[in-house]
Amino acid sequence: MLPIPEPIVDPRDPDEFLDELDTTWPLIRDGETRVKVTDKGWAIMEEFLYDALTLGPDFSRISTLLELGFTDTAVREASVTLESMLKRRLRTAKFGNNLISQIDSCLEQGGVDLTYRRIVITRLRTVFTFVRNKFGHNIDPRLPVSEANALCWRIVSLYDSPVWDQLAIDSE
Protein backbone atom coordinates (compact mmCIF):
# COMPACT_ATOMS: atom_id res chain seq x y z
CA MET A 1 0.00 0.00 0.00
CA LEU A 2 1.10 3.54 -0.64
CA PRO A 3 0.69 6.07 2.15
CA ILE A 4 -1.45 9.10 1.43
CA PRO A 5 0.69 12.17 2.06
CA GLU A 6 -0.37 14.14 5.10
CA PRO A 7 -1.78 17.54 4.30
CA ILE A 8 0.20 20.61 5.23
CA VAL A 9 -1.47 22.24 8.22
CA ASP A 10 -1.31 26.00 8.42
CA PRO A 11 -1.56 27.54 11.88
CA ARG A 12 -5.02 29.09 12.09
CA ASP A 13 -7.62 30.25 14.51
CA PRO A 14 -9.08 27.11 16.25
CA ASP A 15 -12.63 28.04 15.22
CA GLU A 16 -11.55 28.51 11.63
CA PHE A 17 -9.61 25.22 11.76
CA LEU A 18 -12.86 23.24 12.02
CA ASP A 19 -14.43 24.98 9.06
CA GLU A 20 -15.48 22.13 6.74
CA LEU A 21 -14.84 24.19 3.65
CA ASP A 22 -11.15 24.56 4.52
CA THR A 23 -10.60 20.95 5.62
CA THR A 24 -9.17 18.55 3.09
CA TRP A 25 -8.86 15.39 5.19
CA PRO A 26 -10.99 13.41 7.65
CA LEU A 27 -12.57 15.58 10.32
CA ILE A 28 -13.83 14.73 13.82
CA ARG A 29 -16.06 17.36 15.37
CA ASP A 30 -16.38 17.96 19.12
CA GLY A 31 -18.99 15.72 20.71
CA GLU A 32 -19.16 13.34 17.74
CA THR A 33 -17.69 9.88 17.51
CA ARG A 34 -17.85 9.57 13.74
CA VAL A 35 -15.16 10.55 11.27
CA LYS A 36 -16.38 12.68 8.39
CA VAL A 37 -14.46 12.65 5.17
CA THR A 38 -14.78 15.81 3.13
CA ASP A 39 -15.34 15.90 -0.62
CA LYS A 40 -11.67 16.70 -1.12
CA GLY A 41 -10.75 13.78 1.12
CA TRP A 42 -12.95 11.43 -0.93
CA ALA A 43 -11.34 12.71 -4.13
CA ILE A 44 -7.89 11.86 -2.74
CA MET A 45 -9.17 8.45 -1.63
CA GLU A 46 -10.70 7.80 -5.06
CA GLU A 47 -7.35 8.52 -6.71
CA PHE A 48 -5.59 6.26 -4.23
CA LEU A 49 -8.05 3.40 -4.71
CA TYR A 50 -8.00 3.77 -8.48
CA ASP A 51 -4.21 3.55 -8.50
CA ALA A 52 -4.12 0.79 -5.87
CA LEU A 53 -6.73 -1.39 -7.57
CA THR A 54 -4.65 -3.83 -9.53
CA LEU A 55 -6.85 -6.44 -11.11
CA GLY A 56 -5.32 -9.61 -12.48
CA PRO A 57 -6.57 -11.53 -15.50
CA ASP A 58 -9.34 -13.20 -13.47
CA PHE A 59 -10.82 -9.75 -12.92
CA SER A 60 -10.52 -8.29 -16.42
CA ARG A 61 -14.32 -8.11 -16.74
CA ILE A 62 -14.50 -6.09 -13.52
CA SER A 63 -12.06 -3.50 -14.87
CA THR A 64 -14.20 -3.12 -17.97
CA LEU A 65 -17.41 -2.81 -15.95
CA LEU A 66 -15.87 -0.15 -13.70
CA GLU A 67 -14.62 1.81 -16.71
CA LEU A 68 -18.10 1.69 -18.25
CA GLY A 69 -19.67 2.94 -15.00
CA PHE A 70 -21.50 -0.31 -14.17
CA THR A 71 -20.34 -0.13 -10.58
CA ASP A 72 -22.95 -2.40 -9.00
CA THR A 73 -22.37 -5.04 -11.67
CA ALA A 74 -18.60 -4.82 -11.11
CA VAL A 75 -19.03 -5.48 -7.39
CA ARG A 76 -21.41 -8.36 -8.08
CA GLU A 77 -18.97 -9.86 -10.62
CA ALA A 78 -16.02 -9.51 -8.20
CA SER A 79 -18.00 -11.32 -5.48
CA VAL A 80 -18.97 -14.12 -7.85
CA THR A 81 -15.36 -14.45 -9.03
CA LEU A 82 -14.16 -14.83 -5.42
CA GLU A 83 -16.85 -17.36 -4.54
CA SER A 84 -16.27 -19.35 -7.75
CA MET A 85 -12.53 -19.57 -7.07
CA LEU A 86 -13.15 -20.84 -3.54
CA LYS A 87 -15.70 -23.42 -4.71
CA ARG A 88 -13.29 -24.59 -7.42
CA ARG A 89 -10.40 -24.92 -4.94
CA LEU A 90 -12.54 -26.87 -2.49
CA ARG A 91 -14.27 -28.88 -5.21
CA THR A 92 -17.67 -28.13 -3.65
CA ALA A 93 -21.07 -26.89 -4.71
CA LYS A 94 -21.69 -25.24 -1.35
CA PHE A 95 -22.29 -21.51 -1.24
CA GLY A 96 -22.79 -18.71 1.29
CA ASN A 97 -22.48 -19.62 4.96
CA ASN A 98 -22.11 -23.34 4.23
CA LEU A 99 -19.14 -22.58 1.99
CA ILE A 100 -17.63 -20.30 4.63
CA SER A 101 -18.00 -23.03 7.29
CA GLN A 102 -16.24 -25.49 5.01
CA ILE A 103 -13.46 -22.97 4.34
CA ASP A 104 -13.00 -22.43 8.09
CA SER A 105 -12.76 -26.17 8.64
CA CYS A 106 -10.26 -26.59 5.80
CA LEU A 107 -8.13 -23.71 7.06
CA GLU A 108 -8.13 -25.25 10.54
CA GLN A 109 -7.07 -28.61 9.10
CA GLY A 110 -4.41 -26.81 7.08
CA GLY A 111 -2.90 -25.50 10.32
CA VAL A 112 -3.90 -21.85 9.97
CA ASP A 113 -3.73 -19.95 13.27
CA LEU A 114 -7.12 -19.37 14.95
CA THR A 115 -6.74 -15.59 15.07
CA TYR A 116 -5.82 -15.35 11.40
CA ARG A 117 -8.64 -17.76 10.51
CA ARG A 118 -11.15 -15.56 12.34
CA ILE A 119 -9.96 -12.51 10.42
CA VAL A 120 -10.27 -14.30 7.06
CA ILE A 121 -13.66 -15.81 7.90
CA THR A 122 -14.99 -12.46 9.15
CA ARG A 123 -13.87 -10.77 5.94
CA LEU A 124 -15.52 -13.51 3.87
CA ARG A 125 -18.77 -13.26 5.85
CA THR A 126 -18.74 -9.49 5.35
CA VAL A 127 -18.25 -9.83 1.60
CA PHE A 128 -20.86 -12.55 1.23
CA THR A 129 -23.48 -11.16 3.62
CA PHE A 130 -23.32 -7.44 3.02
CA VAL A 131 -21.76 -7.12 -0.41
CA ARG A 132 -22.65 -10.16 -2.48
CA ASN A 133 -26.21 -10.39 -1.19
CA LYS A 134 -26.88 -6.66 -1.62
CA PHE A 135 -25.56 -6.49 -5.16
CA GLY A 136 -26.49 -10.04 -6.10
CA HIS A 137 -30.17 -9.37 -5.60
CA ASN A 138 -30.50 -5.66 -6.30
CA ILE A 139 -29.58 -3.15 -8.96
CA ASP A 140 -28.01 0.05 -7.64
CA PRO A 141 -26.96 2.32 -10.52
CA ARG A 142 -26.20 5.09 -8.00
CA LEU A 143 -23.26 3.23 -6.40
CA PRO A 144 -20.40 5.76 -6.46
CA VAL A 145 -17.24 4.75 -8.30
CA SER A 146 -15.20 5.32 -5.13
CA GLU A 147 -17.36 2.87 -3.15
CA ALA A 148 -17.29 0.30 -5.95
CA ASN A 149 -13.50 0.60 -6.17
CA ALA A 150 -13.18 0.16 -2.39
CA LEU A 151 -15.46 -2.90 -2.40
CA CYS A 152 -13.69 -4.45 -5.39
CA TRP A 153 -10.30 -3.74 -3.79
CA ARG A 154 -11.41 -5.60 -0.66
CA ILE A 155 -12.73 -8.54 -2.66
CA VAL A 156 -9.59 -8.74 -4.82
CA SER A 157 -7.36 -8.62 -1.74
CA LEU A 158 -9.28 -11.62 -0.36
CA TYR A 159 -9.04 -13.40 -3.70
CA ASP A 160 -5.26 -12.86 -3.85
CA SER A 161 -4.66 -13.88 -0.22
CA PRO A 162 -1.89 -16.46 0.26
CA VAL A 163 -4.06 -18.17 2.90
CA TRP A 164 -5.85 -20.16 0.20
CA ASP A 165 -2.64 -22.12 -0.40
CA GLN A 166 -3.08 -23.53 3.11
CA LEU A 167 -6.54 -25.03 2.52
CA ALA A 168 -6.72 -28.73 3.39
CA ILE A 169 -8.79 -29.80 0.36
CA ASP A 170 -9.66 -33.37 1.32
CA SER A 171 -12.09 -32.35 4.08
CA GLU A 172 -15.81 -31.85 3.84
Number of structural domains found in the chain = 2
Indicate if 71 and 156 belong to the same structural domain: yes
Indicate if 80 and 124 belong to the same structural domain: yes
The low-confidence residues of the chain, meaning pLDDT below 50, are 1-4, 8-25, 27-28, 171-172
Indicate if 142 and 89 belong to the same structural domain: yes
| Among 140, 131, 149, residue whose Cα is nearest residue 43 | 149
| Residue 21 confidence (pLDDT) | 40
In sequence order, which residues have a C-beta less than 8 Å from that of residue 21 and are 6 or more positions away? Answer: none
pTM above 0.75, yes or no: no
| 154 in a structural domain | yes
Report the distance separating Cα 129 and Cα 20, nearest Å: 34
| Residue 49 confidence (pLDDT) | 66
Indicate if 114 and 71 belong to the same structural domain: yes
| Residue 8 confidence (pLDDT) | 47
Indicate if 46 and 128 belong to the same structural domain: no
| Residue 32 confidence (pLDDT) | 60
Indicate if 74 and 153 belong to the same structural domain: yes
Q: Which domain holds residue 35?
A: 14-51
